[in-house]
Amino acid sequence: MTDTKTDMVTKFPETLAAAADAPDAQTDFSAENATLAVADAPASKPKNRFESVQPVLEKLFELYPQLFGEHFLPLKLGIFQELLAAHPDTFTRDTLKVALGVHTRSTRYLQSVAAGLKRHDLQGVPVDDVAPEHVYLSIVELFQRRQARSKEDLRPKLRSQLMAAYDKSGLSRLDYLARIGAPAEAIQVVLDDALAEVDQQRARRAALVKAFEASGKTPEDFADMLGMDVREVNAALK
């Protein structure tokens, strides 16, 4: 049987090379910062800097299985400094920096961010929401990785994910676009369509709420009057 810790670390092959491009100044190690770093990274760096990555990842798994175990969770911003302070004799600054860079660039970590899970502290307690732009960056990065390996057109799934992320953000279209920046042209087409659909859904919900408030009816009676499922009415009223 494969050792659990070793098996966990072998899930990172596609990120080992990518970690070599992470800027030395990066210490937050949120998935979104790692993703943003790729475009400006140097073409190559000595690979021997990363020989210590696997042992550090194994140690993180041993110490914090709730964060680095079978199910990855988004990490609290600043967790790099907290890990150094908590384990000064276990981790060095440079090797921990590289290991966290590998971890937060892994597909499984990006999936946890893209899903909109909260950021967690070292005790595994959810503490902060992931910023909308960071969710967006993770969704796009995962799409690009998968599309590069697939003959299937994954844009419909990307559209659905972007719709859900935008709607959950609660931001207006202008505010959302200001947060995420300018996407690549191929992504822009899908994004525009996703945002337009959500804006239409929001307008319909707003009109439904306004009509309900003017009706003076209970949700049940209002739904019956319009031939709707009462659950749809209640969802719009939340």
The secondary structure of 130-163, three-state, reads: CCHHHHHHHHHHHHHHHHHHCCCCCHHHHHHHHH
- Tens digits of per-residue pLDDT, 194-231? 999 999 999 999 999 999 999 999 999 998 998 999 89
Phi, psi dihedrals of residue 189, rounded to the nearest 5°: -60, -45
> How many CB atoms are closer than 10 A to CB 125?
11
User: What is the structure's pLDDT at 33?
Assistant: 53
pLDDT band at 44 (very low <50, low <70, confident <90, very high): very low
**Residue 77, strand partner residues:** none
User: What is the structure's pLDDT at 14?
Assistant: 36
> Which 3 state secondary structure label does DSSP give 115?
coil
Strands 126-128, 119-120: parallel, antiparallel or unpaired by DSSP? antiparallel
Residues in Cβ contact with 32 at an 8 Å cutoff, skipping those fewer than 6 apart: 113, 131, 133, 134, 137, 138
Q: What angle do CA 101, 140, 114 make, to 5 degrees?
A: 70
Distance CA 100, CA 93 (A): 11
Segment 29-37 mean pLDDT: 46
Give the start-to-end residue ranges of the domains of the chain: 4-128, 152-237
**Residue 75, strand partner residues:** 120
- Tens digits of per-residue pLDDT, 128-171? 999 999 999 999 999 999 999 999 999 999 999 999 999 999 99
- The yes-or-no verdict on residue 12 having pLDDT over 50 is no
- Tens digits of per-residue pLDDT, 47-99? 545 566 899 999 999 999 999 999 999 999 999 999 999 999 999 999 999 99
Q: What is the residue-averaged pLDDT of the chain?
A: 83
8 Å CB contact between 84 and 38: no
Tell me the whole-structure pTM to 2 decimals: 0.77
8 Å CB contact between 12 and 106: yes
Distance CA 104, CA 126 (A): 17
Phi, psi dihedrals of residue 200, rounded to the nearest 5°: -65, -40
8 Å CB contact between 88 and 32: no
